[in-house]
Amino acid sequence: MRWYSLIILLFLSANIQAQFSVRLLLTEVATRKNDPIYVSGTFNGWQPAAEAYRLKPFAGGRLGIVLKDLPAGHYAFKFSRGAQKMESTADGRDIPDRLLTVEADGSFDFQVAGWKDDYPDKPKSYTALPTVRLLDSAFALPDLGRSRRVWVCLPKNYAQTGKAYPVVYFQDGQNLFNEQTAFAGEWGMDECLDSLVQQSFPGCIVVGIANGEAKRQQEYNPYDHLQFGAGEGKAYLKSIVEKLKPYIDAKYRTRKGVAHTYIGGSSMGALIATYALLEYPQVFGGAALFSPAFWVAPELYKDASTKAPAGKKIFLYYGGQESANLLGEVKKMETIFNAWPEVQKRTVYQPLGQHREAAWRGELALMFQWLSVGW
C-alpha cells in the first residue's frame, strides 16, 4: 500500500512540475506581412523584439513559434513588430492582452487585424491632479550615468499644514499619476490618495521615478541575467538612496527615519524594491510588492534568506491569472519573508487578477491603509 501511495505522489509531483511545448501560429496578418513579427508576454518579460521570440515561416504561408518548457499556468502576450509597434484592431484601437492557459502541449491559431503604429496617435488626456508635480525632467542618477524624470505627489492639504510626512518611493513613475505619460495604463495613485483623505488616512508623499525604458530590465535587477544583460540594480538603488532621497528630504517636509520610508513597485519594480530592503535595511522600513518578478533573479532567494532584515513591513499582491513562474516563485519568497525577524506582512491574492496596471490599481487603497498603520 505504501508503494502505491508513493507512486501516486511521484505522479502528482511530476505533473505539478510538468513543462509543455506550445506552438503559436499566425494564420493571417492584415498588413506588413513581410516585416519581422515577434511575440512578447509574461514568459519573456514583455520584450517586444527579442530575437529568440521572432516568428518563423511555417507551412501554408503561416508564421509561428514554438515556446518550449512552459510550466502549466496562465500567460498574457501580444504580437508586435518591435518596440512601439504592437498589434491592434483593424481600425487602430488597442486590444487587451491575449491570454493563454497552458495545461498540455498544444497548438493555437491567431490573426493580427492591424498594427498600432499604422494609425496616428490620439492625444492622451492629462489626468494628474494638482497634487502631482514634475520634480525634474532629468534628475541625475550619477551611479548609472543617466538621468530620469521624477514626479512628486503631495498630500492634498500639504500647503495648509506644517506636518512632516512619510515617503514612499515607487518605480515606473510614468504609470502612477497621469494617463498622458503612462505606457501601460495609469494606476490612479493620486486619485486614490485624494480619496483616502476622507477616510482618516494620515497622508504620505509619493515619489514616482520613471523607468529606464530599454534599460528597465537591467536597472531593476541587481544580478546579471543571461537574457537581459548585466544587472544595474545596485547602482540604481545607490543613486536613489544617496542622491534622490536626500534631495527629497531637503525640499519637502518628510519624516526621514526608516520607519517612515518605504519603496514599492510592480513586476521588475517589485523585484528591485525587495532587494532594497536587503541592501538598505537602515533606509527602508518596508515595501509594497505587486506581482513581483522573482523568477528573473533566483539569486535573490539566498540573499533574502541570509540577510533577513528585521522589523520590515511587506504588502504583497499577486493574481491567479498570472504566469505559473510568477505564482510559484512568489509563494517561495513568501515562505522566506515569513521567517524574517519581527516581519509584518499582508498578502493579497486575487484569483482572477492579471499581470497589469488595472489589477494593481484596485489594491492601492488597501496597500496605503495597511502600510500607514502606526504612522
Asked whether 85 and 77 are in contact (CB, 8 A), the reply is no
Question: Does residue 123 sit within a domain?
Answer: no
Q: What is the pLDDT along the chain (375 residues), one digit of tens a residue?
A: 444 444 343 344 444 457 899 999 999 998 998 999 999 988 887 888 889 999 999 998 999 999 998 888 888 899 999 888 999 999 888 888 888 888 899 999 999 999 988 987 778 899 999 999 999 999 999 999 999 999 999 999 999 999 999 999 999 999 999 999 998 789 999 999 999 988 889 999 999 999 998 899 999 999 998 878 899 999 999 999 999 999 999 999 999 999 999 999 999 999 999 999 999 999 999 999 999 999 899 999 999 999 999 999 999 999 998 877 788 899 999 999 999 999 999 999 999 998 889 999 999 999 999 999 988
Output the domain CATH number for residue 9: 2.60.40.10
Query: Does the reported pTM lie above 0.85?
Result: no
- Same domain for 12 and 160, yes or no, is no
Question: Does residue 22 sit within a domain?
Answer: yes
Residue 28 CA to residue 31 CA, distance in Å, equals: 9
Residue 192 CA to residue 368 CA, distance in Å, equals: 9
- Same domain for 88 and 202, yes or no, is no
Considering 64, 89, 118, which residue would you say is the last residue of a domain?
A: 118
Residue 263 CA to residue 277 CA, distance in Å, equals: 8
Question: Does residue 87 sit within a domain?
Answer: yes
Output the domain CATH number for residue 317: 3.40.50.1820
Question: Does residue 126 sit within a domain?
Answer: no
- Same domain for 160 and 276, yes or no, is yes
- Same domain for 18 and 104, yes or no, is yes
Considering 118, 153, 186, which residue would you say is the last residue of a domain?
A: 118
- Same domain for 196 and 331, yes or no, is yes
Question: Does residue 276 sit within a domain?
Answer: yes
Is the C-alpha dihedral spanning 329, 324, 226, 235 positive or negative?
A: negative
Name the residue range of residue 247's domain: 132-371
- Same domain for 151 and 275, yes or no, is yes
- Same domain for 348 and 241, yes or no, is yes
- Same domain for 275 and 324, yes or no, is yes
- Same domain for 175 and 92, yes or no, is no
State the total domains in the chain.
2
Question: Does residue 85 sit within a domain?
Answer: yes
Question: Does residue 125 sit within a domain?
Answer: no
Asked whether 38 and 80 are in contact (CB, 8 A), the reply is yes
- Same domain for 104 and 185, yes or no, is no
Considering 84, 118, 152, which residue would you say is the last residue of a domain?
A: 118
* Beta-sheet pairing, 56-58 with 73-80: unpaired
Q: Which residues 6+ apart lie within 8 Å of 238 measured at CB?
A: 143
- Same domain for 93 and 177, yes or no, is no
Asked whether 340 and 308 are in contact (CB, 8 A), the reply is yes
Question: Does residue 362 sit within a domain?
Answer: yes
- Same domain for 92 and 223, yes or no, is no
